[in-house]
Structure 1
Amino acid sequence: MQVQAHWDPISDSTYNLHQLTEEQFARVKVRCPELVNMEWKQALELFNTKPAYPLKDYNTTDFQVFLPSSTAKVGDIWELDSEEILPFFRQFHSGATTEITIFSHRTPKSDGAKACLRAISSDYAEIVFRIHAQFVLDAPGVRLLPAQFAGRLILNRKEGAVVDFSLFLPSRNSNVDVNAFKAADMAFIPRMELSNLSSTPVHEIAWETVITEKESRKKLATAFYKFAEIEWIPIEDAVELAEGTNRPIHA
């Protein structure tokens, strides 16, 4: 399967760490010379991101990392081997890693990759997944930490072939952290995605057992974070519920 990569540069951030002025960069070099062994224009080029491989061919065996090791039913969650996933992320950049580090400190609780069987029929199965990864750019201490990567894979069960695949950075107002020059920033990348060039018309598949996309993403989130089980409600409803049960909201 031929997979295409898209990687837009940062389009917005809180502190513009990716677009320091020449004067700002000069001050950074004075403050931490051991980390900034480059010129201003080289620093700007660090964040002018583009895929290492705009197109790459994968074999069917490459996608086996996303499959469960034993029989699964719709809604089941399983762990993915982070090391075996790395070739997909290195289509973006050779510095991809699934070991999350913030300012040289490992944060194992942020690591991980999990998948969920979302739908199944006699002919097809759809797997959705959530993966945490980061990219060590071509300078000491410069990292991009996407909030998460989401994706899906549709498998032809009879042929054992992958017919649809995508892996992407969800789009929201800030979806990546920037660690560089002993500083941090929150930024937005409009599009960062891997997707196959041709696929089966998935909307035509008649699923026999299925959960919604929202349900599957919720299951993945709660598998990573216990607090994701909290059911949030509008403040007006919370006030009404508190009054009806005679329980203060902040009890």
Structure 2
Amino acid sequence: MAGPGAAPPRLALALAALAALAAVKYYRDAEAARQQELALKSLGSEGLFLFSSLDTNNDLYLSPEEFKPIAEKLTGVAPISEFEEEETSDTSGETLSIVAKFQPLVMETMTKSKDGFLGISHVALSGLRNWTAPAAPMSMLLARQFKAFLPPKNKLDLGDPWWIIPSELNIFTGYLSNNRFYPPPPKGKEIIIHRLLSMFHPRPFVKTRFAPQGAVACIQAISTFYYTIAFRIHAEFQLNEPPHFPFWFSPAQFTGYIILSKDSSHVREFKLFVPNSRSLNVDMEWLYGASESSNMEVDIGYLPQMELESTGPSIPSVIHDENGNVIDSRDPSGEPIHFVFEEITWQQEIPWEEAAQKLEVAMYPFKKVSYLPFTQAFERAKAEKKLVHSILLWGALDDQSC
């Protein structure tokens, strides 16, 4: 029997368990610090920086999945993912031809240009300066690959947004690492977005480091057999490779629309672009050292053109006659067969501006409230007999302060 001054058995056990947990944590932290120190001695700061950019789970070991970017870089061969393999296995469907149009960033619009990029090495900006044309000026894609843009069954109302790529960031996760060079392998619906953005540059990240992250869409128009889907994508690019330090290029947004049959067998039109109506539309960040905590330089600039557009409707890759026999894609004179497509009669539709505003609110919930210029705010307040809440900002609230 315990004496009057002894702690109750349960409390003693709890204290012992806490002490054991603290000891385990101390040991693990000490071991992690020791391993980090050994890695630094073996690789040096720049080598460890590169290793850490691949070691996504920070366990100081590279799994085959983590090593994949290096393997692809050395061999020049990228394995096809299971989802993409499934999508491309049926090559008898229709194909869509897409062209990329790109005008490089106007360097003079960067704030650092005002002092002649004083103190900024040419190496840091090499990836930006060398990016003068799209990586793939034209690409052929299967129409069915665009089924990722189709709405879920519970989102069939005009202007009702859904997430193609949902955000994985929240107040607990914080933001993603700056210390990365190669995008993680895209999965599921990310694949078509990654494929499209790869036409601009070989290293697109379909999930941005910071919120708002992801891709959102809504129905703009409905016909018997077709949808017009408006979409908005937040993605960014890594312009540098080792031994240089990371350089992040983050357009304000990618937006656009697709006219797609409800069974995804046919694409009538597709367009994706970075809006260029503002004086600044790209955020740029680059590191100056070999660690996550290294100094980071930040700037903004103007990108005149970055867009993808279909050259016409998707067309059959294999043509059959009325008996099911494969026929030549050219007529007897050798000219390509011209397809005639029926005109689409839209039964319901909303203006593009309304659809874009719905997507904007989905990305930025604070925009459920109207933010007006100073003079317009007072006119609205007077008309609605409401008070004015004034906010002074340096820059914009949305789109990377662009």
Fold in common (TM above 0.5): yes
Residue 138 of structure 1, CA deviation: 2.3
The residue number in structure 1 matching 2:185 is none
Deviation at 1:232, TM superposition (A): 3.3
**What is the CA deviation profile of residues 61-95 of structure 1, one whole-angstrom value per residue up to 9, with x for unaligned ones?**
21111112325222221111362221111111111
CA RMSD of aligned residues (A): 3.1
Q: Which residue of 2 aligns with 1:14?
A: 110
2:350 matches 1:211: yes
State the Cα distance separating 1:149 from its structure 2 match: 0.3
- Rounded to whole Å, the distance in 2 between the matches of 1:87 and 1:95 is 10
Deviation at 1:127, TM superposition (A): 0.2
Paired with 1:6 and 1:120, the residues of 2 have a C-alpha distance of: 29
Q: Deviations over 1:140-166 (max 9, x none)?
A: 221110011001000234783001001
Answer yes or no: is the 8 Å Cα contact 2:147–2:264 preserved in 1: no
Instruction: Give, in whole Å, the separation in 2 of the partners of 1:243 and 1:83.
Output: 46
Change (3 A) 1:235 1:90: same
8 A Cα contact 1:118 1:128, kept in partner:
yes
Partner of 1:129: 231
Matching of residue 79 in structure 1 with residue 163 in structure 2: yes
Count of matched residue pairs:
230
CA, structure 1 residues 125+14, in 2 after alignment: closer, same or farther (shift >3 Å)? Answer: same
| 1:91 is the counterpart of 2:199 | yes
1:5 aligns with 2:144: no
Instruction: Pick the structure with more strand per residue.
Output: 1
- Distance (Å, rounded) in 1 between the aligned partners of 2:97 and 2:235: 22
Does residue 176 in structure 1 map to residue 282 in structure 2?
yes
Q: Which deviates more from structure 2 when the two are superposed, residues 42-51 or residues 180-189? A: 42-51
Does the C-alpha gap of structure 1 residues 121 and 179 become closer, same or farther in structure 2, counting only changes over 3 Å? same
The two structures have a TM-score, normalised by structure 2, of 0.51
Contact 1:9 1:48 in 2 (8 A): no
The one of 145, 163, 166 equivalent to 1:62 is 145
| Residues 1:126 and 1:15: Cα distance change in structure 2 (over 3 Å) | same
Mapped to 2, the partners of 1:124 and 1:155 lie a distance apart of: 6
What is the TM-score normalised by the length of structure 1? 0.79
Q: Which moved more, 1:70-79 or 1:87-96?
A: 70-79
Task: Report matched runs for 1:1-251 at 5 Å.
Answer: 1-11=96-106, 12-16=108-112, 24=118, 27-29=119-121, 40=122, 43-44=125-126, 46-49=128-131, 50-70=133-153, 72-81=156-165, 83-84=190-191, 85-101=193-209, 107=210, 109-139=211-241, 140-157=245-262, 160-171=265-276, 172-180=278-286, 181=288, 182-199=296-313, 205-239=344-378, 241=381, 245=385, 247=387, 249-250=389-390
Between structure 1 and structure 2, the one with the greater Rg is: 2
Output the CA distance in 1 between the equivalents of 2:221 and 2:159.
8
Q: State, as a whole percentage, how many aligned pairs show the same letter.
A: 30
Name the CA shift for 1:233/1:145 in 2 (closer, same or farther; >3 Å). closer
- Indicate if the aligned counterparts of 1:124 and 1:157 stay in contact, CA closer than 8 A: yes
Listed as ranges, the gaps of 5+ residues in structure 2 are: 1-95, 166-188, 289-295, 315-339, 392-402
* 1:136–1:142 Cα contact (<8 Å) kept: yes
Give the unaligned 5+ runs of structure 1. Answer: 30-39, 102-106
